Amino acid sequence: MNSKLTLKLDSEVIERAKDFAERRGVSLSRMVEGYFIGLTRKEKAGEVQPRGVVAELAGLLAGAELDDENDYAEYLTKKYS
C-alpha cells in the first residue's frame, strides 16, 4: 500500500535529485523508496552489504571468464601505450 510522505529539503537538492532520477529513468519517489529500503534492510549477522559505487559495480563481471594476470597485463599495455 502506498502512502504519501512530505519532506522539507533544500530546493537545490531537490532539483539535483530530480535531474539524477530523470537521467536514470526512475521517479524521484521510487529513488527515495529504494534509498529507504537500503537503509532499513536488515543485514545478516557478520555479512557486510556493499554501498554506493561498490554496490553498483557488484556482480558486474559475474559469469565472465577472465584470466586475471593476462587480462590485467593487456589492460596496462593498452593504457600506457
pLDDT at residue 44, as a whole number: 54
For residue 27, the tally of other CB atoms under 10 A from its CB is 12
pLDDT tens digits for 5-20?
A: 999 999 999 999 999 9
Check whether 21 has a pLDDT greater than 60. Answer: yes
| Torsion 32-33-38-39 (CA) sign | positive
Q: Is 31 exposed, middle or buried (0-12, 13-18, 19+ CB in 10 A)?
A: middle
- On the 0-12 / 13-18 / 19+ scale of CB atoms within 10 A, 33 is middle
pLDDT, the chain, mean? 82
Q: Where are the domains of the chain?
A: 9-41
**Higher per-residue pLDDT: 6 or 40:** 6
pTM assigned to the model: 0.49
Q: What is the dihedral of CA 6, 8, 11, 15, to 10 degrees?
A: -40
User: For position 14, what pLDDT does the model report?
Assistant: 93
